[in-house]
Amino acid sequence: MEYVTSVERIGISKGVRQGLLEAIELGLELKFGVDALSLMSEVSQIDDIEQLRAIKEGIKTVTSIEELQQIYQPNA
């Protein structure tokens, strides 16, 4: 196994995060239309990769934007 420096790990993490944000944006637009892209201002503030993965996966099953928001704002 090749050694990965801390700088490389940070770069990889940033790349994964960016990819997830792009997938979420596409999913929102395809499922809910252009108006749903307003959520991206909230979602883009999230740094937790696992939470972003949950949002991406949640887009597949939720039926409303409010239901999707419950994934990352459970107390709202």
Mean pLDDT of the chain: 93
Look up the domain containing 55 and give its range: 6-72
Q: Is residue 57 part of a domain?
A: yes
Residue 34 lies in a domain: yes
Q: How many domains does the chain divide into?
A: 1
Per-residue pLDDT tens over the stretch 16-40? 999 999 999 999 999 999 999 999 9
Cβ atoms within 10 Å of 47's Cβ, excluding its own: 10
Angle between helices 6-32 and 49-61 (to 10 degrees): 20
Residue 71: other Cβ atoms inside 10 A: 16
1 domain residue, yes or no: no
pLDDT digits (tens, 9 = 90+) for 6-22: 999 999 999 999 999 99
Would the pTM count as exceeding 0.95?
Answer: no
